[in-house]
Structure 1
Amino acid sequence: MNQPIIKDETLNRWFNGYEIADDVRSLREEFLDLHIGRGDVVLVCLPNTAAYPVITQALWEVGAVMHPIAATTPELELQQELDEHEYVASIVGQELVNAALDDRLAIVTALHLQTYPLLHIIRDRQLMGNDARVPDEDDLALIMNTSGTTGKPKRVGLTHGLLLNGVEHDIESHKMTALDTTMVVMPMFHINAQAVSILSTRLSGGKIVITNKFSASKFWNQVRDNGVTWVSVVPTIINILLINQAANANYSDDIRLRFVRCSSFALPLDKLTAFQTRFHTTILEGYGMTETASQCTINPFDAPKVGSAGKAFKTDVEIMVDRKIVHAPNQLGEIIVRGDHVIADYLDPHPNSFKNGWFLTGDLGYLDEDGYLFVKGRKKDIINHGGEKVAPAQVENSLSQLNFIKEVSVIGTPDSLYGEAVTAVVISQGQQAEELERQKIMAHAQATLANYEQPTRIFFVEDYPRNATGKVIRLKLREQVMSNLIRSVG
């Protein structure tokens, strides 16, 4: 108990088991005094902090449910969230107290914790609350919002049983032990940080380093100074670490990451190979989502297949074409999953997302002859170009091979002749003229893509509209392109 187990990089402080237990006890007692108990939902709006695991544990000990949202949530959006759903309480930092209160009849409690100097609990007095009780496996533990990159986010309810199963699968597939130290660089209101990094590490007895957010210039120093053995990231972070001068300067050969877990979309071969060679580690690519309490597939340590999301792990994964499961390899269709860590329904009705015990992910992909999953993008993102179906991920993976491209997103825009034009929206390194880069993009596309997949429009931008986890919001990007807010060079 006196060993350091969680570090808050912002505070530059390690907390041992006694200190974490003291903070949990203080919070639990406050929840009991405020009559927050079994089944009561508490909204948490905080930045990445060592207090997150403390709040989670204290809420679960009284049987309450945590719903974390981004600390950068605008005040109006926070108020709308509180108005739409019955939150017995909200937990926020000082800067959001007035917005969360918003003329509500409430009790405001300021609590000093070791892991968070001044925490505010706003207890809605119009809601009775329930008695505290140790939760059952089927009781809700977490409510999380989906990414919402193609529409309004869905609310996902994860029970204690689903989370436990998912986390145990993570521990086994990643070979986690008490000797591991992970570093959290992903936002803590996201399933990646909550399940893959925090819960799995706590259950396996390892240590956790929590950063406020990813910093390329600080990353390798943080890994080295804290003895980090693995970290979970997204491909964008891989790309940034490869090209950021400060990151490359701060890396040294005495750093030994056991692996880097990467998910969200597949890395191009050249960038995966470059990262592994430059930083002397292994990238493990996987596939999962909020609805599955983290992962469904993962590349095995001893047999990874580049470009794939790996093989199913403690999950049934199939491909559905025309609402029927197909067993032949290399058949492109919707990815469907089921397992002891997969939800059976959303908190709000979405019946079209489930069929005969399967969760229909909305993602397109195929299983090869060896059972490896290849993810090709979202069904809603598919571009209909003259009757040919174009998967944006296929085009993005090809164009990402160009070293002057920092990031690329491919969308469909209206075309009078073909219905939709394949439109590449590029974030460039900015080291050469855009017209020259456009020509290189077209030449590379002609050499690597089918005619109907080649982009006919190219736009250069400084950044994309993104959600709180950094994912591109394609609907907004398309709107910006269509409203001429982005300068075209095509």
Structure 2
Amino acid sequence: MKKLVEWFFLGFLSLLLKFRYRVIVKGRENLNPETLSKPGGVLFLPNHPAVLIDPLSVALSLWPKYPVRPMIVEYFYYTPIVHTVMRFVNALPVPNFDVGSNSFKRKRSEEVVQTVINDLKKGDNFLIYPSGRTKQTAEEIIGGASAVHRIINEAPEANVVLIRTKGLWGSMFSRAFTGTPPPFFPTLLRGIKYVLMNFIFFTPRREVIIEIVPAPADFPYKATRLELNKWLEEWYNQPDGLTKQEGTHPGDSLVLIPHTIWSKKVSEPWIKDANNQDFDMIAIPNEVQDKIVEEISRITQMKKENIRPDMSLDKDLGMDSLDVADLISFIQDYFEVKNVSPLEMTTVGKSMAIASGLIVCEETVKDTSIVNLEKWFKEVPHHKLEMPAGETLPEALLKTCDRYKKRVAAGDERSGILTYKDIKLRTILLAEYIKTLPGEYIGILLPSSVPAIVAIFATQLAGKIPLLINWTVGARHLEAVVKLSKVESVLSSWAFLDRLENVDLDGIEKQLVMLEDVRRKFTLFDKLKAFYLSLLSPKSILKHFNSDRFTSKSPAVLLFTSGTENLPKGVSLSHENILSNQKDILEIVDLYSDDVFLSMLPPFHAFGFTVSGLLPLLAGFKVFFSPDPTDGSKLAKQTNDYGITLLCGAPTFLKGIFKAGIRENFNSLRLCVTGAEKAPPELFRLADKFGKKDVILEGYGITECAPVLTANRPNKEHAGVGEPLPSVELLIVHPETNAVMPKGEQGHILARGPNIFEGYINPDIAPPFLNVAGKSWYKTGDLGYIDEKGRLIISGRQKRFVKIGGEMISLASIEDALLESAVSNKWPISEDKPSLAIVAKEELDTKTKIYLFTDFDTTLDEVNLTLREKGFSNIAKVSEIKKIKEIPIMGTGKIYYRLLESQYLQNQ
């Protein structure tokens, strides 16, 4: 049956191609047992002048005698319709390094190449482009691409066949007009339109020549990677003589064919000169130039003196996409440059210019917005909101969905606009799948988005506990999370991971399950069943999933925060913890049915999970999700575009929004809540420029407290972090004696209430509770006092942690990591006294800085590289090293950190 479908489908495609292309195949007769005498399969190596057309033409020219398995970039592999075809031919998806690099993509790439090697040995045939992408100029440039060289070396059993396609440079499917791959469906639809305009049979036809040549005697099987690539480039770029202008220099002729018989007009080409340098090298600081050369030398193993600014990264230096990705990661990390595009990284000089800021790469994000603004702004009745009744979060959600039904609930630029009815249906459909997954916990690795919030509710409905995973903290943290939770499945998304840059996912890669793959598994029966269930009452739905057995005390989510030493702490919050906190929020702040929330905080952030994620959907007001809290300009624009009235976030993120915005962006904004770190005066000054200073409310929260403890009240005088929530009690005790302190005097802040968790899942961490006056209190680890009006004023942190970008960083774990690497770094660590210490200084208007004190010589580069190698994220970065004669210690033998702060950092 499969053969019959294959013949019909490929025959149909062959017929369609003939309306526009006259394909001439040369040398197919040379493929025979004599020329293909090796025992393995055939490795077909074509050049790549155009998307879609050249792979299709080549595959059809080899079929049916040599059916091939292509390697295809992931974003195209998963395109609707294309995906069905690719699965049919058993194609292999490969990561797209043009939009970012991370450890997961690098491992995926390695796995694909190994699969090709193994299956070639078994006799499978593969169609692989040595360049790895469609060409940008008339010449085929392979540069330092390494996959084909590795395959040929590790699969000597494979037969090699070269394929040269000519005549497609200048096609609408080539990069000749923009320098970038044309969008697939719009270009295809345009082509179909032209064919119809020509009454199908009269379409001007493009001549395409496909030459098939078994590897000749001089094929460099044993050559180095660069020698092989150079040989292939020369073979592909032989003059084709298709136009009068061509034939005297290598590369493809630019062939322009009219689109219709009614006009001789052709498109004007734009050929990008990849080596063009439109910047002044003199303007690039010498230290930047030296650093880039040093890094390129490390990657390529070339001597620094042989690396020149005019050298191309691929053709001259032999850097492949993974090498360029490493260089980009270095530039983004060391020079703190954002949005570095691999397509812009063409020469050494250009890399220097990007690192120095002379060239700013614009973020080229494909517009995936399918938001129906008319539907989004549909008027709803204005009324004050309250939390629905329900012991658990899924029960509360189902009741809200039944109440509001077709009212708009949420949206994002990928998912579009969803009503409560849509949310309910999607939650039920995904819950049916999640209940089949093993384990108590289901990991969720997604940014602020509709899929993230649906995955959370679906996991709870399925009787599992969502584990929100922080992808920014490094492999060390992730490995500990997996070990502690024993999580077996982590829901994520190809669309998200594809754009995730410079992130190490080593700890959880084996557990990843992609939502795109899950979606394709849903059958018509699955969807009909979910639709039927969505018509039932909340009680019946909960009973169907057996989740009616859960009570308000049952775990609702597992979040991880930084640990006291090196391990993260697992915080299990119950349904009661979260729902009581949300009810308190609605009691102190008036929220209305026509409010609109902009959710930007990631779900792994306690505030992002509860207030930015759950609250809008449970209470009944619209929420628009945006995945990147650091993209201030986009968030400012979305605040205006979607009529945002409510905004929440850490001060760092809010400052970015106000800095990037203009007054009209914030016309609709009526409330802006901030927390996670102290709100600096600069935030209020920025908001005041737009007349929004009074809309800012500062609060105080902790992950273990679900998370809000205090908040300033609207229309009341602001002081500190405000008053406790209605269900929360605060107590100030002496940090050492635990004696209750009088009002106005500083001490250790204790808290109690229904929102506070019951303890960590870590078996080796002592409960963070203290009995005072016959009651159990949670020890916050912060110092402060309560003023005469009952408002909490925080004065400092007791624990050795700092908050940077809203994330807790353990100073002790940084010290331990550096000490562990001392031997390999050849640091002279003393055995009888401390040789290094980490201290952090938190400033009001600047980023918190981490200082390393040592009694030996080292460099910032060496220290921060060590931290990255030990699995720390880029947030945990030492800002400055201070070498001193001796690290001070107290009488107890402990490092005297307070002296380091007061003696060496007081004037910083």
- TM-score, normalised with respect to structure 1: 0.70
Counterpart of 1:477 in structure 2: which amino acid?
Answer: V
Listed as ranges, the matches of 1:15-414 within 5 Å are: 15-32=418-435, 34=436, 40-72=440-472, 78=478, 81-94=481-494, 100=508, 102=510, 110-112=517-519, 132-134=546-548, 135-147=550-562, 152-214=567-629, 215-242=631-658, 244=659, 247-248=660-661, 250-252=662-664, 255-269=667-681, 271-280=683-692, 282-306=695-719, 308-313=720-725, 314-321=727-734, 322-349=736-763, 350-351=765-766, 353-356=768-771, 357-381=776-800, 396-397=843-844, 400=845, 407-409=846-848
Alpha-carbon distance in structure 2 between the residues aligned to 1:82 and 1:382: 23
In 1, the alpha carbon distance for the partners of 2:555 and 2:465 equals 6
Following TM superposition, by how much is the alpha carbon of 1:236 offset from its aligned partner in structure 2, in angstroms?
A: 1.1
- Helix, strand or coil at the partner of 1:304: coil
Letter in 2 for 1:82: V
Q: Say whether the 8 Å CA contact 1:377–1:392 is kept in structure 2.
A: no
- In the other structure, the counterpart of 1:477 is 878
Q: By how many angstroms is 1:170 displaced? A: 1.7
Deviates more, 1:19-28 or 1:205-214: 19-28
Letter in 2 for 1:112: R
CA distance in 2, matches of 1:84, 1:253: 44
- Could you give the per-residue CA deviations for residues 13-56 of structure 1, whole angstroms, max 9, x where no partner exists? 21122322221121121134x166xx821111123321112111
| C-alpha distance in structure 2 between counterparts of 1:169 and 1:365, whole Å | 23
Structure 1 pair 410/338, CA: closer, same or farther in 2 (3 Å)?
Answer: same
Equivalent AA in structure 1 for residue 762 of structure 2: D
Shift of 1:89: 2.7
1:210 Cα shift? 0.5
Deviations 1:131-166 (A, max 9, x none): 843221111110001155985431100011111111
Q: CA 1:178/1:369 → structure 2, altered by over 3 Å: closer, same or farther?
A: same
Residue of structure 2 in register with 1:5 after alignment: 409
Aligned length: 394
Distance 1:409 1:253 in 2: 29
Q: Is the 8 A contact 1:137 1:159 kept in 2?
A: yes
How far apart, in 2, do the equivalents of 1:328 and 1:57 lie? Answer: 44
> Cα gap change, 1:76/1:327 in structure 2, threshold over 3 Å: closer, same or farther?
closer
Contact 1:178 1:206 in 2 (8 A): yes
State the identity as a percent: 22
Deviation, structure 1 residue 72: 4.7
Aligned partner of 1:263: which letter? G
Question: Are residues 370 and 382 of structure 1, via their aligned partners in 2, closer, same or farther at CA, if it must alter by over 3 Å?
Answer: farther
2:673 partner letter: R
Taking a change above 3 Å as real, the CA distance of residues 138 and 352 of structure 1, as seen in their structure-2 partners, is closer
Shift of 1:299: 0.4
> 1:348–1:148: structure 2 CA closer, same or farther, 3 Å change rule?
closer
Contact 1:261 1:284 in 2 (8 A): yes
Equivalent residues of 1:284, 1:304 under 8 A apart:
no
> 1:351/1:72 Cα in 2 relative to 1: closer, same or farther (>3 Å)?
closer
| CA pair 277-222 structure 1, distance change in 2 beyond 3 A | same
SS at match of 2:428: helix
Could you tell me whether the CA contact under 8 Å between 1:221 and 1:251 is conserved in 2?
no
Task: Encode CA deviations 1:338-365: one digit per residue, 9 max, x unaligned.
Answer: 1010113111243362112111011111
Structure 1: 5+ residue stretches without partners? 115-130, 384-390, 401-406, 417-460
8 Å CA contact 2:756–2:778 kept in 1: the answer is yes
> CA-to-partner distance for each residue in 1:107-138, whole Å, 9 max, x for gaps?
99931289xxxxxxxxxxxxxxxx84322111
**Residues 315-372 of structure 1: CA deviation (Å, up to 9, x unaligned):** 1111121242434233222111010101131112433621121110111111112211
Please report how far the alpha carbon of residue 167 of structure 1 lies from its aligned counterpart in structure 2 after TM superposition: 1.3
Residue ranges of structure 2 left out of the alignment (5+ in a row): 1-404, 499-504, 522-544, 803-838, 856-863, 885-904
Task: Give the CA RMSD over aligned residues.
Answer: 3.9
Hey, what's the Cα distance between the residues in 2 that align with 1:108 and 1:370?
Answer: 50
Deviations 1:233-287 (CA, angstroms, capped at 9, x unpaired): 1111233344x3xx23x43176121110011233234542442343425110000
User: In the superposition, relative to structure 1, how do residues 113 and 182 fare at CA in structure 2: closer, same or farther (>3 Å)?
Assistant: farther
More helix by share: 2
Residues 268 and 227 of structure 1, relative CA distance in 2, 3 Å threshold: same
Task: Describe the SS at the equivalent of 2:601.
Answer: coil
Give the deviation of 1:76 after TM superposition. Answer: 7.1
Amino acid at match of 2:452: Y
Contact 1:191 1:294 in 2 (8 A): yes
- Separation in 1, partners of 2:456, 2:512: 25
Give the Cα–Cα distance (whole angstroms) in 1 for the partners of residues 674 and 434 of structure 2.
Answer: 37
Give the distance between the partners of 1:374 and 1:411, measured in 2 at CA: 25
**Bigger Rg, structure 1 or 2:** 2
Aligned partners of 2:515 and 2:632: how far apart in 1?
38
Mean alpha-carbon deviation: is it higher for 70-79 or for 329-338?
Answer: 70-79
Cα separation, 2, equivalents of 1:111 and 1:65: 19
| Residue 126 of structure 1: aligned partner | none
Change (3 A) 1:107 1:301: closer
> Could you tell me which amino acid in structure 1 is paired with residue 716 of structure 2?
A
Q: Distance in 2 between matches of 1:294 and 1:113?
A: 36
Q: Compared with structure 1, are the counterparts of its residues 136 and 227 closer, same or farther at alpha carbon in structure 2 (3 Å cutoff)?
A: same
What's the offset of the Cα at 1:190?
1.1
Aligned to 1:145, what secondary structure does the other structure show?
strand
| C-alpha contact 2:409 2:420 (8 A) present in aligned 1 | yes
CA spacing shift, 1:296–1:472, aligned 2, 3 Å: farther
Which SS does the other structure have where 1:179 is aligned?
coil
**Relative contact order (alpha carbons < 8 A, sep ≥ 6): 1 or 2 greater?**
1
| Amino acid paired to 1:195 | T
- For 1:64, the aligned partner's letter is K
Q: Distance in 1 between matches of 2:618 and 2:546?
A: 24
